[in-house]
Structures are given as C-alpha cells and as structure tokens.
Amino acid sequence: MYLEIVTPEAMVFQADVDAVKVPGINGEFQMLNNHAPIVSTLTDGTVKINLASASTEIEKLSSDFKQEGKELFYDIKGGVLEMKDNKAIILAD
C-alpha cells in the first residue's frame, strides 16, 4: 500500500509500505495491503510503519521519525486517516 503522512507544515512521508498501525480514537488498529476503505479520527500516539520489503532506503526523513530496522515510528497529537484504493493518507497534527 502507499502511505502519505501530511502535517500542516509539510508532507513528511511518502512511500510504499507493508503495514501501518495507527492510534485510532477507539483504539489502535493496523491496515495491510488492500484494506477496506476507512476514514478514522486519530488520537495522541505513535504511528508505526512497516516498510515494504521491496522498497529502497527512505531518505531525508525528519528527525521526528525513529527507525528500528524496517520499522519507523512517528508521534502524532491527533489527526485523520483515510484509506481508499490501497492508498492511506494521514493528516496529522
């Protein structure tokens, strides 16, 4: 799936990923490739990104990202997520 993370300041992430786990308003949930369409509000927490096994190294990540192997972690204060047509967009605060 393709993931974009957008903040009021800039687009902070764009890449193909295997999975993304987000802090939903009713609890944490994960999306994989071809997930059903969904719109959800997000709460304070950490977005966990599993990078696609075929993806190249992600360059120019902001210092707000933490990386452990093929996993990235990005803290948010809240926001909105939309998943449609195998593309997830997170509008983060």
- Tell me the domain boundaries of the chain: 2-92
Indicate the pTM of the whole model.
0.90
Looking at the chain, how many residues does it have?
A: 93
The DSSP 8-state label assigned to residue 86 in this structure reads T
CATH fold, domain 2-92, is: ATP Synthase; domain 1 (2.60.15)
Share of the chain above pLDDT 70, in %: 94
Confidence of residue 69 (pLDDT cuts 50, 70, 90): confident
Q: Average pLDDT, whole number, for the chain?
A: 91
6, pLDDT greater than 70? yes
Percent of residues in the chain assigned helix, strand, coil, to nearest 5: 0, 65, 35
Q: Confidence band (pLDDT; 50, 70, 90) for 57?
A: low
Q: Following CA atoms 57, 58, 59, 64 in sequence, which dihedral angle do they give, to the nearest 10 degrees?
A: -140
For residue 30, the model assigns a pLDDT of 96
